[in-house]
Amino acid sequence: MTEGEKQKMVVTPWEVSGDIDYGKLIEQFGVQHMTQDIADRIARHAGYMHMQL
């Protein structure tokens, strides 16, 4: 593969490969970007802010 070529994005429950386009992935799955407001709501309901959020 030469520089500039992109590998086809494949995302299934069993495989993630290729060049991942997070914008396209978010659109395909019908979700939204994680915002500080969402993180705050999760922390409020969980009782703490998880370190990976």
Per-residue confidence (pLDDT) for residue 1, from 0 to 100: 53
Per-residue confidence (pLDDT) for residue 31, from 0 to 100: 94
Q: In this structure, what token pair is assigned to residue 15?
A: 């495989």
Residue 17, domain extent: 1-53
Per-residue confidence (pLDDT) for residue 7, from 0 to 100: 87
Contacts with 1 (C-beta within 8 Å, 6 or more apart), sequence order: 7
Q: What's the number of domains the chain is made of? A: 1
Per-residue confidence (pLDDT) for residue 46, from 0 to 100: 95
Per-residue confidence (pLDDT) for residue 43, from 0 to 100: 95
Per-residue confidence (pLDDT) for residue 2, from 0 to 100: 60
Q: Which residue has the tokens 């590998």?
A: 7
What digits encode the pLDDT tens for the residues 3-47?
Answer: 567 789 999 999 999 999 999 999 999 999 999 999 999 999 999
